[in-house]
Structure 1
Amino acid sequence: DFRSTVSEVLENALKGRGTANFEFPLYTKDKRRVDVLLNATPRLDANGNVVGVIGVGQDITARKLFEEEKTRVAKELQTFIDTANAPIFGIDDKGLVNEWNNKAAEITGFSREQVIGRSLVKDFITEEYRVSVRDVLDKALKGVGTANFEFPLYTVDGQRVEV
């Protein structure tokens, strides 16, 4: 029940302590939920005494629904990446691994934890492919795609595996 918490926010404002960005649900007469963002600020007289509270509530229902949908889609995509039957890896703009799915871990023997934050090209690509892989990755980071580029990765035991 948020009634007691909202009361506390308003009481704090009456004591001179404002509250910013407090979120809580309200329910309309027809039982529809409305998410509200509340800011409560003490209202002061000319002498600095608290004489009331200025409360501003904003309906953030649409934003909350969008955030929930975005979170749901992100989880769905992460599940797809994790369970894909192909190795999927990602790098940041410095070439450091920031994604390594289950299939990549399975075929290389390197767990996600072992590769995250390491240089993909320097640490996992065989030497004769480093320049070409770096070029493909640089293009990808600039939005230029490359289809069906195969290259070998090192496995945990130093073997080569084609991906």
Structure 2
Amino acid sequence: MHGIMIIVFALFSLIGSVICLFFGNFVYYQNRKQLLNKIFFLLCMSLAFWAFTEFMLRQAESLETANFWFNMNFLWPFSLAFPLHFMLIYTEKTSVLKNKLTYLLVYAPAFIFSFGDLLVPSMRTEPIMEFWGYSYYVLEGSWMYLVSEVWVFTVGFLALVLGIMYYRQVYSEEKKRQAKFVILGFSIPIITGFFTEGFPPVLQIKIPELTTLAFTGLCVCVGYAIFEHKLFVFTPATVAENIIETMNDSLLLVDKHGIIMKVNHSLLNLLGYSEDEIVGQPMEKLFAEEQSGKNINNKFLENKTFDNYETKYKTKTGENVDISFSGSTVNIKDGTFVGFIGIGHNITDRKKAEEKLKEKIDELEKYKKLTVGRELKMIEMKKEIDELCNKLGEKPRYAR
């Protein structure tokens, strides 16, 4: 019976490894250029390796072999760092990801705990044989293990909160359905890990580790989201999203109440704001004059669409930027009005060129007036000289 249980739990780990390996490659080849797919691939590969070392550990034939596979699992913290990175990309936290400090905060602890687990023999005991195979226990008073567990569940909780916030904020119903499965997928290993590898080892309670198996739940949920809701798939929607993020003109999506729902990188770069500073704010905040924003809002409501309305953005530092604004209303399938989309083209250079042209034309007109005035004066003076010559009985000097 003891041997059968070892085989069963070892197979759980092996199955988890295979599933993670399969889904990681499957998602990656859906779109090999997309960063989200790449990070999910790295997540799945790290989980597959973790589950495989757990498989080898559980059915090891000797303590020496068990120790080897136990130490080979030292990279497990990266399996917790990748999900947070994945969630930051998935929830479109572009402003956060632009900050290099973000990557330090995500991956530096994983690096420290990985090599701490390998090099510092004060976190866990040597492998101990249990009915499910070789396992480990936490050494009493191991502060490093406690710190690592706090980090693990902080990272997991933060990733879950990001997913929930994204679900509540996202506009698209399709994205909401995707988010449901991503949140569910992340919830399974977090909850399972807490009850099997969180507080039980600290309390010296003997429970089989099931976290790697639970992570297959994440893969299954993501797999369902791929097949049913086109998550990670290269579709017209993802193409449109990439176009929006790479276009030179500024773009904003506003709901029917005039509240900004989404902006692209060009607008953020132009005005100097972060995404969090703009999203959720009234549209009028972007314009140099509040009335301009109200006028645009009225144009949307009255005309449904309009082109080349010249106005000014106001940057975070208070500078004005000349733009040509065009937009159109957004309706869902049943025709219900839900908001509008606007595109602002920076015409600052054109305005400067127009101003310079006007200055040159004005300067030319002044010169022309001076020149014409001089010619008329010379003609008048020549006439007066000829008249004086006639009075003096002399031959006119300029008459023809």
Q: Which TM-score applies when normalising by structure 1?
A: 0.51
Equivalent positions of 1:92-131 (< 5 A) are 92-121=255-284, 123-125=285-287, 126-131=289-294
Offset, 1:137 = 3.3
Offset, 1:148 = 1.8
* Alignment deviations for residues 101-133 of structure 1 (CA, whole Å, 9 cap, x no partner): 111011111122210000012x22223423322
Moved over 4 A (4+): none
Q: Which residue is 1:80 aligned to? A: 243
Q: Hey, which of these two has a bigger chunk of helix by percent? A: 2
Between the aligned partners of 1:158 and 1:124, the Cα distance in structure 2 is: 10
Give the structure with higher Rg (CA).
2
Q: Which runs of 5+ in 2 are unaligned?
A: 1-11, 13-225, 324-400
- Structure 1 131/83 Cα, relative in aligned 2: closer, same or farther at 3 Å? same
Equivalent positions of 1:13-92 (< 5 A) are 67-68=229-230, 72-73=234-235, 74-92=237-255
Between the aligned partners of 2:310 and 2:275, the Cα distance in structure 1 is: 21
Between the aligned partners of 1:139 and 1:87, the Cα distance in structure 2 is: 23
Between the aligned partners of 2:302 and 2:262, the Cα distance in structure 1 is: 18
Q: Which residue is 2:318 aligned to? A: 158
Alpha carbons 2:249, 2:266 under 8 Å: kept: yes
Between the aligned partners of 1:162 and 1:99, the Cα distance in structure 2 is: 21
How many residue pairs get matched? 98
Between the aligned partners of 2:279 and 2:320, the Cα distance in structure 1 is: 20
Q: Which residue is 1:17 aligned to? A: none
- Structure 1 71/139 Cα, relative in aligned 2: closer, same or farther at 3 Å? farther
Alpha-carbon RMSD = 2.6
Q: Which amino acid aligns with 2:296?
A: V
* Alignment deviations for residues 59-89 of structure 1 (CA, whole Å, 9 cap, x no partner): xxxxx75732896332221111111010111
Q: Which amino acid aligns with 1:147?
A: D
* Overall identity of the aligned pairs, in %: 16
Q: Which amino acid aligns with 1:149?
A: Y
Alpha carbons 2:248, 2:266 under 8 Å: kept: yes
- Structure 1 69/96 Cα, relative in aligned 2: closer, same or farther at 3 Å? same
Q: Which amino acid aligns with 2:273?
A: F
Q: Which runs of 5+ in 1 are unaligned?
A: 5-63
Q: Which amino acid aligns with 1:109?
A: G
Q: Which amino acid aligns with 2:286?
A: F
Say if 2:309 is the partner of 1:149: yes
Alpha carbons 2:283, 2:293 under 8 Å: kept: no
Q: Which amino acid aligns with 2:250?
A: P
Between the aligned partners of 1:97 and 1:71, the Cα distance in structure 2 is: 27
